[in-house]
Amino acid sequence: MTIEKLNEKMYRKHLKNGLEVILMPKKGAIKSYAVFATHFGSINHKFVPLGEENLLTVPDGVAHFLEHKLFEQEDGVNALDKLSKIGANANAYTTFNHTAYLFECTQNFDEALEILLHFVQNPYLTKENVEKEKGIIGQEIKMYDDDPDWQLFFGFLNCLYNEHAITKDIAGTVESIAEITPEILYKCYNTFYDLSNMVLCVVGDFDEEKVLSIIENNVKNENEKEKIHRENDKVEEGINKKRAEKVMDISMPMFMLGFKDDFLKQMINVGFDYENSELVKRHVAIEIIFEMLIGKSTELYEDLYNSGLIQKELGSDYTFEENYAYSSITGESKNVELVIQKILNKLREMKENGIDENELERIKKMLYGEYVFLFNDVSKIGSIVVSDYFKGVNSFDYVDWYRNIQKEDVEKVLKEHFDETKMAVSIVKPQ
């Protein structure tokens, strides 16, 4: 399958073993980038292990723990060191819904790709090295306990959701990782690191046929497995609570204001589709609304900045995954309550008066230009494509909706999504 837009080409091939390969050649690119990812994140804590019949619940933090351990190889050499020696800058990360291993380089790309494919497919887990890792990850967990941004974020999520895995730290807790064993890790690995549950994306200046040959020669030659039976936490009605507050060692109060989105309920009922652009349209509409609400050219931003209520831009985001979705605004202010009230007043005004057609067209062009600019960065392209793939959407659909979304589409989302009965606020205050 070949997709061509923005003078960019995307080649997709579904291998016999189930692996989805996405190649995006960019002639003249200085760097090349590869990301090998599995649809296994921190929220996937209930599933039926491969070859078994009963549902298993694993401790919080397993996906992140496994990410740490895969770099360790049986020959005693860490895969990160191998990649570093040939000039490749490698890393890995775990999100709520997927785990990814990646590298970028300017030379020795073929060799680096072979190393990536090898270590991700060959775990080496022993009782000794698992126990050793618990101390390392335990220190990481404690570090995040003292991170005000992290605490602000999870305070917000705990407002929106109650009994949902998204409210648990991706790395787990010191107590939960203490329960992790090599046996649990291997069950997770054998289930979720099957190639039929994975995607490999390569971006850069390369020969497509050669890279595809390297991939096919370095992945397991097996038939595609049946779909994994995982039990996702149910999407709860309403929100858990309206407000969360925490006191930490910071100089300026921080806030995160947002709205839970129930739009995904109907999407879950019909199942995810890679070509489903309705999710993309909603994402684009919310981006436009945020730009009209708190963008640097708005009256509200000028008012907040000139009055000294904020000293830098407010952040905004819309997140949607398999079984949760929300929008958020973040910022710092000496008077958080007044800033929040002004934001809500402006939202109500926008709902009542509608949006300006000329302003909409200006913002569409701006967001379109920003999105196109991202395609100059091979690593950003790769991470976007992989994230969108696991969400069930096509990254190139954003190109169409930034240009073609209509006033009535945006106003519909404005009235539907920004519902104050589904709004929550998280605040971190100075001691």
Structure tokens at 27: 């002639």
Which of 201, 243, 230, 318 shows the shortest CA–CA distance to 43?
A: 230
pTM: 0.93
Q: In whole angstroms, what is the distance from residue 236 CA to residue 265 CA?
A: 10
> Which CATH class, in words, describes the domain spanning 243-430?
alpha beta
Q: In whole angstroms, what is the distance from residue 22 CA to residue 13 CA?
A: 7
C-alpha atoms less than 13 angstroms from C-alpha of 360 in its C-beta half-sphere = 19
**Residue 335 confidence (pLDDT):** 96
Compute the C-alpha angle 359/279/20, nearest 5°. 130
Question: Exactly one of 8, 53, 67, 208 is catalytic; which is it?
Answer: 67
**Residue 278 confidence (pLDDT):** 86
Per-residue model confidence as pLDDT tens digits over 293-335: 999 999 999 999 999 999 999 999 999 987 899 999 999 999 9
Which of 232, 254, 93 shows the shortest CA–CA distance to 166?
A: 232
**Residue 431 confidence (pLDDT):** 87
Ordered DSSP codes for 225-271? PPPP-B-PPPPPSS-S-SEEEEEES-SS-EEEEEEE--THHHHHHH-
Query: Can you name the residues that pair with 344 across neighbouring β-strands?
Result: none
Q: In whole angstroms, what is the distance from residue 378 CA to residue 359 CA?
A: 31
**Residue 269 confidence (pLDDT):** 44
Is-contact 188 126, C-beta < 8 A? no
Is-contact 35 105, C-beta < 8 A? no
**Residue 4 confidence (pLDDT):** 64
Superfamily of domain 2-218: Metalloenzyme, LuxS/M16 peptidase-like (3.30.830.10)
Q: Which residues of the chain have pLDDT under 70?
A: 1-5, 264-275
Mean pLDDT, the chain, as a whole number? 93
Is 416 a residue of the active site?
A: no
Q: Which 8-state DSSP code applies to residue 167? A: G
In the chain, which segments carry CATH 3.30.830.10? 2-218, 243-430
Which of 239, 273, 279 shows the shortest CA–CA distance to 155?
A: 239
CA distances from 255 to 25, 149, 158, 260 (A): 41, 9, 14, 16
